[in-house]
Structures are given as C-alpha cells and as structure tokens.
Structure 1
Amino acid sequence: MRILIFGINYSPELTGIGKYTGEMGSWFAQQGHNVHVVTAVPYYPEWEVHEKYKGKYWITEDIDGATVHRIPLYVPKNVTSAKRIIHEFSFVLGIVPVWFKLLFTKKFDVVFCAAPPFHLGILPLLYSKLKGVPMITHVQDLQVDAAKELGMIKNKTFLNLMFSIERFILKKSKKVSTISLGMQLKISGKGVNTNQQILFPNWVDENNIMPLPKEQSLRQQFGLKDSDKVILYSGNLGEKQGLEVIIDVALKYKDRSDVYFLIVGSGGGKEKLEQSAKDAGLTQVMFFPLQPYNKLSALLATADVHLVLQKKSAADLVMPSKLTGILAAGGFAIVTAEPGTSLYTVVNQYNMGLIIEPESTEALCNGIEYAINNDISTYKLNARKYAEAYLSKENILRDFEQQLVDINK
C-alpha cells in the first residue's frame, strides 16, 4: 500500500504522540509499504527545535524507509494557550506547499491523520475527497475537550467553532481510530457511529522494554544507592498532569534521607517545578533530561514507584502513554484516575497498579507509603503480564495493518 501520514509530531521525538506515529511509520515501511509522512521539525517535549533541524525549512529525509517531509513552524519558548494556537496554525499553513505537491503525485491508498492538533485534519480530508482516498483520523487526545475542561480556552464562541470543525472532520473521515474504550464513547457522543470507529491502542515493544534488576538501572549514574526509595515521574512536564503535587508530597519527606523524587523529562512546566523545589529547599527532588530509548529499561528499573498523574478534568480525554513502558518494565505505578474512566477500569481489573484520587496530596502520600512499606511484587508481575498479552507492538500494528487492507477492499 501507499500510505500518507499527517501528524505534527514524529520520530525522533522520544515521548508523546510522535513516538507512536514514528514507530508506526517505520513499521509500515519495514513491511514493504510505501510510506510518506508530513510532519514538523522535531521540537517536543523540550519545546525547542532539535539542534540538527535548526535553521532548516521545508526538507525531506528518510527515516527507517519512510519518506518524511519536514515543515517549519513557530515554537514558543513559554507555552501559553494563545501561543500554542499560533504554533499549531503555523504548522497547518506550512503544510500547504507540500500538500499541493502531493496532490499532483501518484494517488495514495489511504490517508492517516494523527490528532491533535484537531484542525490538522482539514487539509488531509480535502486531499482524501479530491483524490477519492479513504482517510483515517486517529485521535490520541481529545484536544478541544481538554482545552475546555482544563480552562485553557474560555471563549465559548471560539470553543463552539472548534467543536464544530472537529465534528465535521470526524464525521467526514472514513474511519476514526482512538486509543481507549473511554475515548471511543466520547467520540460516539460527537455523532460518530461505532461502526465507523477503530480501537487502535498505544503499544510497547515488550522485547526491548523489560524488567531489569537494580544493578542494571541508572541508580549509580544518578548518584543513588540500591537501598534508597525512588519515586519516578518520567515524561512530559505539562499542564494536564498536575505535577505540582509531587513538590507538595516531597515536602512531607524532607527529613527522609533515603527517599528521592526523580523528575525526568521536559515540557512547559519544568522551570516552574524546578523553581518550586529550589524555593522549598528540596534537595531530594532531582531533575534529569529525557533519556535515550536504549536506556529506557534501565531508567524504569531505577524506580521503586512510578507516578502516572493526571488532573481530574483530563479524565478519559487523554490516556498517558508512559504507562505502557512502565507495565512492560514490570513497574509499580501509582495512577490518578476516577471510577468510570478507562484508566481506572483497566488498572483495577488487572490489579497492576495502585489507583488514587487525582490532585490529592494526601492520597499520593498514602500511596507512596503503601508502596515503600509493603510487598508489591504481585502488582509488578501483573503489569508485565498485561503488557505481553495486550500491548504487544507487533500484534497491535499487524491488526491495524489488516484494518487498512480491509478499508481498501
């Protein structure tokens, strides 16, 4: 098949949507499909264009057999709602010359568009209609819902306009895929029939991400002893997670010399967190940059406890991608989720982590106390078993490949 992928994030970004879209594009190319990708220069989660791509504009490169068309865009240093809107619109506008070029090349068999940004789908949808090609809109985050619930955008007229555009794109797509049953229900609420939907969950390469002993972790590199109790948050340091609670909890362990909080990653909220830890004199809160993929198992093995945090208002609007790696590494996760959400249901059903109330310092403290003072080996075994059974990269992508074949019949 000839597959055309649109997405603002792509490889070599290590976290978030770019990780999955990049791995998908590479996998399809490795299966012998002709893959073209329209994406931005990499910038996430640091919110800074990667050094290799600075000063470059419209370029084309090969990544693992996929032809990748890079688009320049505005990347704000300090991310606000207004600046993020400009950032995303700059990418959509930057696509136009590449879009015209692709319009007059050989027809693709399927168009795949990853959202957010939700309005990215306008140009891929127009391409699909002009060329008579089926389009799949893949929803990783329900961006407009999240912006509303988190109070990032408060203008009702603007919100209603965005919801209208989103519904139009979703309903006009041949298929709409998303990553959880909870998000499928919300998409159904937007008028998209269930027979138009595909469940396409995030995955993990369980052959590369696996449990390791502490001796093979990054504890020595980070200056930690094997006897230390390590609580790890790794990933995007953004608005949806409510990471301020980590600083509040760390204050309660200020007099414990054997308990450390590791925050590994980048994002718009990093400087604020660093300053809060500094102001509070929290020397046991340690910040490190994102680690390369080949060190991910070692990073995950560093922790006794993993934190998977979300704000209440983000329930079932996003599904934390970091959880797949934690499960594959046989890690113990404290997960903030409310009853009725997909996250709560799956973690509870398979007994593979501890679920606590979101945005509660007391609940997180109690969860950490439980984890560092009790035998949590059963949770860790269940986590690895679940990853092997339900999150296999090869199985999920093979199933989705068949969906694409069926759409073209």
Structure 2
Amino acid sequence: MKVLVIGLNYAPETTGISPYTSAFARGLAHRDVKVSALTAHPHYPEWKIHDGYGRWTVSDIIDGVPVTRLRHYVPANPGGVNRLVSELSFGFRLLFARWGRPDVVVMVSPALFSTAIAMLRARLGFNRPVVNVWVQDIYSLGITETGMGNGPVAKLITWVEKTTLKAASGVVVIHDRFGEHLSRRLGVDPARIEVVRNWTHLDAAAPTDVAATRAHHRWPDDETVVLHAGNMGVKQGLENVVHAARLADEQNLPVRFVLMGNGSQRDELQAMGSAITRLQFIGSLDDAGFQAALAAADVLLVNEKPGVSEMAVPSKLTSYFNAARPVIGATDPEGLTASEIEAAGGGRIVLAGDPQALLDAALALGSDPDLARTLGESGFRYRTDVLGETAAIDKFTSWLRRLVTRTSTRR
C-alpha cells in the first residue's frame, strides 16, 4: 500500500495537529507502508515561517518519511479572510504539486479549504486514489461556536465541509461525537466513518527536578501554579485567564496563572495583562522543557471561549494526562472537553468565562495535594489504557487497508 499524507502542519512544529500527522506518517513507515508527505513550511503557532525554511519547494526525509514542503501565504494575523487566503494558497500549491501515484491519500483537516481543493484534484484527476479525510476540527461547528461567522458565511463553510467529506472514500474522526455530528448533520454515511482517538504523542515523562524547573521559571513554592500550554488563539478565550489572574491580584491570593506557548492572540493578551503580577507568559519550549514545565506546575488548564463545545477535542489534553497533574477544564460542562476530562477522572470542570470559578477551583486543588495527586494519577492511567499511540496507528492502518479493499471490489 502506497500512502500520501497531506497536511498543513508537520514536524518540527511541536503543538497542535503537527505531532499527530508526523507520528502517523512515521508509524506507517515503521509498518512497512510506503508513505510520503506533502506539507507547508513550519509556521504554527507563531504564524511566521521558522528560520531556515521558506523556499518555494523543498524535499527532505524525516524519520524515514519523504517530506515535500510547499511555500504558501502565512499571514501575521490569521483571522477571517487572511486565514481563508492562507488555506487557499496551500490548496492551489497542492493542485500542481507532484503526488506520485498513491493508493491512498490521507488529507488532514484543518485545513478544510486546502483539503477541498486537494479533493477536487483527487476526484477529477487521471489517477483517482482512495481518499480518507482525517477530521481534527469541525469547521462548520467552529465558525458558529466561536462567533466568527454566521448567515451566508456559515452556510458556505458548511456546504464546503459537507461536500468535501461526502466525496471521501472514508473519514477518520477523533471522537465518537464527531462521527455522530458528521452523519447526522452533514449527511456522511456512517459506514464511511471510523473513530481513531488522538494519542499521547509524548513518551512517559522522565523524572523531573521540580524544584529546579520551578526555580528556572521563577515559580515560588508557596504559589499554586496554573499552567495553560499551547496555542493562544480565539477559541481558547484566554482573556478569562487574564481576568482570573487579576482577581487573584485583587484578593492577594497565592496563585500564579501561566500562559505558555504562542498564537494569534498572545500580543493582545500580554497588553491586557501587563499590570497583573500573578500572570506570566512563557514562550514555546522544546519537548523536554515542555514536559518538565507540565510536571512542575500544580494544575494544568484547558480554557475555552464560551460557546465552544463540540468543534474540537483539545490536543493538549493528551500531554496533560501524560504529566500526571490535575486538570481544570474551563469549558462547557456538556461539551467534548468536559466529557474527556470526566472520562479520565483527571480533573475538575468550571463554567467557561467565569474567572472567579476558575480561581476558586485552582485554590481548591492547590490546597488539597491528596486530591490533586489522585486526579493526576487517574489521568495518567487513562493516557496509558486508552490513548496509546501503537493501538491508534494500528487501527488507522487497518482502516486504510479496508478502504483500499472495499474500493477495489466496487471497481
């Protein structure tokens, strides 16, 4: 079986979808599948092409996988029309790139609009491979849940997503509720949908020198450190964390909120919190530094914008559970993020957009080390028992083989 993986994000990006796309391609190669990848230059979450990259087209081999990178438009401000143009520019590069003659093409969404253009080529070209779309976010939900579009815009995005997914031979989703939404709302045949959970892409963390790590980041021992790691975008709604830190200042409470990473909203958040002493920003770290920071924090935070409920399962949760630290989910109690934390028994849920509730939950966990330890251990067991990489990629590989067999039979 010859597989081409198409996705906007790939190693060496360390956050978001990239670790899964890269690990999946690497896993296929280790299973003796002939695999290659078409991707962009690394640019996320900074929305700036990393130093040393940026040529029009460049090829490399990463972990045994031939990777071709295509230069596309990377906006400094990725909101709205800029984001659309960025995805379209990558899609048009895919139209004229060399695909080879794969048996299967796996297209990763996001990015939806570049996936839609690639789907046109796959369905209208001379060589028509089996196509599987790997859905990490649901755009038609996201556009409404984040309040970024409605009316004609929402209808257009829903139509593009529905048309693209229904044109696929198969669709892999990362949660059961994604599959239910695609079949019920977008009309995708349930027989074409497979659920493959996102896995923990980090190895079990090596023992961390907590004291040294906390000293390095200037985290006092008498403060409860609440760490949010990863992208700082619109759907994270991190102004809630800024407000919680301001409340901690006003109430003179021993809590420190830390936002670690980068993203389109970072500058705005820093300006908003410039006078707050219990708020700290840290840039993106390498894997070792990232894992050490998670392990040294007292509480790990998933924060979502009010209204965000079903559009995505935050990829950071797998890393959080791997760190064996308790998690607070500031989110919709009925949403996917809350259901995942509750399934793991790994933390506590507070209502999205309620900074006082977030602050109270942080204080409660900080003052109860036995409860914090119990929640952290439960999350780690869930990571081990449910979110294993080997089983996930085995399941994905078997699904692709079934799609090839099914399509060959129909032809």
Query: SS of the residue aligned with 1:69?
Result: strand
> Counterparts of 2:209 and 2:2 in 1: how far apart (Å)?
43
CA RMSD of aligned residues (A): 1.9
- Alpha-carbon spacing, 1:274–1:223, altered in 2? closer, same or farther (3 Å): same
Instruction: Give the Å deviation of 1:205.
Output: 4.0
CA offset digits 1:194-233 (Å, max 9, x no partner): 2111111111146343674624x62121122344321101
Show the 5 A alignment for 1:67-82.
67-82=66-81
Query: SS of the residue aligned with 1:312?
Result: coil
Q: Is the 1:36–1:66 Cα contact (8 Å) retained in structure 2?
A: yes
- Alpha-carbon spacing, 1:205–1:18, altered in 2? closer, same or farther (3 Å): closer
Q: Equivalent residue for 1:151?
A: 147
- 1:321 aligned to which of 303, 315, 338: 315
- Alpha-carbon spacing, 1:277–1:337, altered in 2? closer, same or farther (3 Å): closer
Q: Which amino acid aligns with 2:280?
A: M
- Alpha-carbon spacing, 1:260–1:352, altered in 2? closer, same or farther (3 Å): same
> Counterparts of 1:142 and 1:108 in 2: how far apart (Å)?
26
- 2:284 aligned to which of 286, 290, 313: 290
- Alpha-carbon spacing, 1:211–1:192, altered in 2? closer, same or farther (3 Å): farther
Q: Is the 1:212–1:329 Cα contact (8 Å) retained in structure 2?
A: no
Q: Which structure 1 segments of 5+ residues have no match?
A: none
Query: SS of the residue aligned with 2:352?
Result: coil
Q: Equivalent residue for 1:29?
A: 29
Q: Is the 1:111–1:124 Cα contact (8 Å) retained in structure 2?
A: no
Q: Equivalent residue for 1:42?
A: 42
CA offset digits 1:126-147 (Å, max 9, x no partner): 3443423211111111123212
Q: Which amino acid aligns with 2:379?
A: A
Instruction: Give the Å deviation of 1:299.
Output: 1.4
- 1:243 aligned to which of 216, 238, 253: 238
Query: SS of the residue aligned with 2:230?
Result: strand
TM-score by length of 1: 0.92
Q: Percent identity?
A: 27
Instruction: Give the Å deviation of 1:158.
Output: 3.4
> Counterparts of 2:189 and 2:334 in 1: how far apart (Å)?
21
Greater shift in the superposed pair: 9-18 or 348-357: 348-357
Show the 5 A alignment for 1:379-394.
379-394=375-390
1:267 aligns with 2:263: yes
Q: Equivalent residue for 2:273?
A: 277
Q: Which structure 2 segments of 5+ residues have no match?
A: 406-411
Q: Equivalent residue for 1:141?
A: 137
1:183 aligns with 2:178: yes
1:16 aligns with 2:10: no
- Alpha-carbon spacing, 1:259–1:338, altered in 2? closer, same or farther (3 Å): closer
- 2:191 aligned to which of 167, 190, 195: 195
Show the 5 A alignment for 1:118-129.
118-129=112-123
Query: SS of the residue aligned with 2:307?
Result: helix
Q: Which amino acid aligns with 2:217?
A: F
CA offset digits 1:268-294 (Å, max 9, x no partner): 00001111111xx21231111111012
Q: Equivalent residue for 1:84?
A: 83
1:304 aligns with 2:303: no
> Counterparts of 2:344 and 2:14 in 1: how far apart (Å)?
27
> Counterparts of 1:363 and 1:182 in 2: how far apart (Å)?
27
Instruction: Give the Å deviation of 1:330.
Output: 0.5
Q: Is the 1:262–1:288 Cα contact (8 Å) retained in structure 2?
A: yes
Q: Is the 1:74–1:90 Cα contact (8 Å) retained in structure 2?
A: yes
TM-score by length of 2: 0.92
Q: Equivalent residue for 1:172?
A: 167
Q: Is the 1:136–1:176 Cα contact (8 Å) retained in structure 2?
A: yes
CA offset digits 1:82-106 (Å, max 9, x no partner): 21111111111222221xx32xx3x
> Counterparts of 1:390 and 1:5 in 2: how far apart (Å)?
25
Q: Equivalent residue for 1:58?
A: 57
1:340 aligns with 2:330: no
Q: Which amino acid aligns with 2:61?
A: D
- Alpha-carbon spacing, 1:82–1:381, altered in 2? closer, same or farther (3 Å): same
Instruction: Give the Å deviation of 1:258.
Output: 4.2
CA offset digits 1:43-98 (Å, max 9, x no partner): 000110000114x1111111111111111111111232121111111111222221
> Counterparts of 1:151 and 1:207 in 2: how far apart (Å)?
36
- Alpha-carbon spacing, 1:209–1:247, altered in 2? closer, same or farther (3 Å): same
Instruction: Give the Å deviation of 1:404.
Output: 1.6
